[in-house]
């Protein structure tokens, strides 16, 4: 990899950046007080940018670089970590190991964190029929992070569904890494298509429906959430909601008869928890 390194920052060298692009740079970045311009081949450079030097550097393994920068994420009683950081989870906290990959849900997004915090605030081990543990439905499961978190936090079972087929083997693998594969089930499909209704009279009542999607989809699916939730203490947890779109979700929950709605905000993101 060929890099042309100049003294200064992107700000102090702003006037020179166009010259680098024009000379054929394919990328620019600032590192340790130096501007680095990536070139496919050495180029003639005009006088204002002639104070740098050419360097041949070993190709960077961007995936390893990305992995190196990942840090544990604390959310409620849970710490979410990639497999190589599991030793960093402090004693007394629940460790949730997620292999970062193609599916959304490493814990680093505000909405995933808000959702795990909300699960952590429920007594999942004592919800459900006769207090035997909650039955949780995770809509848009991605890496499986929320379904797995629910089971680690005491839920009896969790079903995760996702329209993206790529997510299902990833979620299955994450369940196995966390040793909860007997208590989670991942299914491909959208709510309504997937057979998430079993049991008594063809309907399995869930104690918790959790969904990290987006406001417009929550509006469309709110009736389904209500139909799938137990009337005895059923809870819906919705996130992926931009704060500007909260009114849409509030109206949908009111329309479907949900009560006691509470909102938590993190920057531009919101989570709403309500009772069926
Ligand atoms: N649950 C994970 C989390 O909280 O980090 C992943 C959430 S990610 C923002 C949303 C996921 O929902 C994606 O994996 C996407 O494929 C899935 N999705 C989008 N629309 C869906 C739908 N109508 N039904 C089921 N899954 C859907």
2-60 CATH: 3.30.70.1170
What pLDDT was estimated at residue 194?
65
**Ligand 1 atom closest to Cα of residue 167:** 14
What pLDDT was estimated at residue 199?
42
Written as six digits, the tokens of 173 are 């693998």
Q: Where in the chain is the domain with CATH 3.30.70.1170?
A: 2-60
Task: Report residues of the chain scoring pLDDT below 70.
Answer: 60-66, 68, 194-204
- Residue 155 to residue 180: CA distance in whole angstroms: 11
**151 close to 180: Cβ distance less than 8 angstroms:** yes
Compute the 3-state secondary structure of the chain and give helix, strand, coil in percent, each to the nearest 5.
35, 30, 40
What pLDDT was estimated at residue 259?
96
What pLDDT was estimated at residue 202?
47
Q: Which of 140, 164, 222, 240 to mutate to test the pocket of ligand 1 (most atoms within 8 A of CB)?
A: 140
DSSP 8-state secondary structure symbol assigned to residue 245: G
What pLDDT was estimated at residue 200?
43
Q: Domain 104-275: what homologous superfamily? A: Vaccinia Virus protein VP39 (3.40.50.150)
Protein residues with CB under 6 Å of any ligand 1 atom: 104-105, 111-112, 115, 139-142, 145-146, 161-164, 167, 190-191, 212-213, 217, 240
Three-state secondary-structure class, residue 21:
helix
E-state strands within the chain: 2-7, 27-31, 34-39, 53-56, 73-75, 78-81, 94-97, 135-139, 157-162, 184-188, 208-212, 235-242, 259-266, 269-275
What pLDDT was estimated at residue 196?
58
Q: Where in the chain is the domain with CATH 3.40.50.150?
A: 104-275
- Flag whether the ipTM exceeds 0.95: yes
Q: Which phi and psi angles does 161 have, rounded to 5°?
A: -125, 150
Pick the closest to residue 55 from 65, 69, 42 (CA basis): 42
The 10 Å Cβ neighbour count of residue 140 is 23
Distance 116 CA to ligand 1 centre (A): 15
């Amino acid at each position: 990899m060929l890099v042309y390194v100049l003294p200064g920052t992107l700000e102090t060298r702003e006037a020179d950046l166009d010259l680098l692009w024009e000379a054929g740079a394919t990328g620019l970045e600032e590192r340790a007080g130096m501007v680095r311009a990536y070139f496919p081949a050495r180029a003639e450079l005009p006088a204002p940018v002639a104070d740098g030097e050419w360097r041949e550097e070993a190709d960077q393994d961007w995936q390893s670089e990305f992995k190196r920068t990942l840090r544990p994420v604390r959310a409620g009683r849970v710490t979410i970590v990639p497999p190589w950081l599991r030793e960093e989870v402090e004693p007394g906290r629940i460790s949730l190991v997620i292999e970062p990959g193609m599916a959304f849900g490493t814990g680093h997004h505000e909405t995933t964190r808000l959702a795990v915090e909300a699960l952590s605030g429920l007594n999942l081990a004592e919800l459900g029929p006769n207090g035997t543990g909650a039955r949780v439905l995770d809509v848009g499961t991605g890496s499986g992070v929320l379904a797995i978190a629910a089971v680690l936090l005491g839920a009896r079972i969790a079903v995760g569904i996702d329209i993206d087929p790529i997510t299902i083997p990833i979620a299955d693998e994450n369940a196995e890494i966390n040793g909860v594969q007997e208590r989670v089930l991942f299914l491909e499909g959208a709510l309504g298509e997937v057979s998430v209704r079993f049991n008594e009279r063809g309907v399995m009542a869930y104690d918790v429906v959790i969904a990290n999607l987006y406001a417009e989809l929550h509006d469309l699916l709110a009736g389904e959430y209500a139909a799938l939730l137990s009337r005895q203490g059923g809870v819906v947890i919705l996130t992926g909601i931009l704060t500007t779109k909260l009114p849409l979700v509030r109206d949908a929950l009111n329309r479907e008869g949900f009560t006691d709605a509470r909102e938590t905000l993190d920057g531009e993101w919101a989570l709403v928890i309500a009772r069926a």
